Amino acid sequence: MSRVSLIIGSTSDREIGDKAEAILKEFGVDYDYQVYSAHRNPKALREYIEASDASVYIAVAGLSAALPGFIAAHTLKPVIGVPKDAKLGGIDSLLSIAQMPPGVPVACVGVDNSRNGALLALEILALSDEGLREKLVEYRRKRAART
C-alpha cells in the first residue's frame, strides 16, 4: 500500500517532485511517484486515482495548475497542491490551486516548496501513526537546533 501518491503533471516537474520524494524516503513512508497531466491524459489520471490506495496525494503543477483540483474532484482523500514557478513567478499556479471552488478543497503550499508538501502529507498520516509523529517531532527538534 502506498500511503502517499506523489504526482507531477509533466516530466519537467521532476526536479520539484524529487524534493518531495526525498522527504518521503527520509521518513520511510511508502509512496507511489507518477507523471500524469490533467489536460493531456485525464482518463488515465482518473483511472489511477480511482485505483489508488493512497491516503493522501501531493500534486506538483505549473501554469494553469489543474492537477491538484482534478485529483480532488475524483477523491475524498486529502490533496496537497505544490504550485510550480513556470510563468509569472508561480503566482498563476499558486492562485489556481488556492482558489478552488467551495466543496472541493485542496491544501496549497508555497511555490516550488514540495518539501513542505511532503511534510504536510506526513503530518496528516501522523494523526493516526504514533511512530511517524515521533519522527516528525525529532525532525523539527533537529531543525530547530540548527538555527
Mean pLDDT of the chain: 96
Does the pLDDT at position 127 exceed 70?
A: yes
Domains of the chain: residue spans and CATH: 4-146 (3.40.50.1970)
Average confidence (pLDDT) over 18-26: 98
Average confidence (pLDDT) over 103-124: 97
Does the pLDDT at position 67 exceed 80?
A: yes
Does the pLDDT at position 109 exceed 60?
A: yes
Check residue 2 and give its pLDDT.
65
Q: DSSP states of 77-136 as a string?
A: S-EEEEE--SSGGGHHHHHHHHTPPTT---EE--TT-HHHHHHHHHHHHHTT-HHHHHHH
Distance CA 127, CA 71 (A): 22
Check residue 1 and give its pLDDT.
53
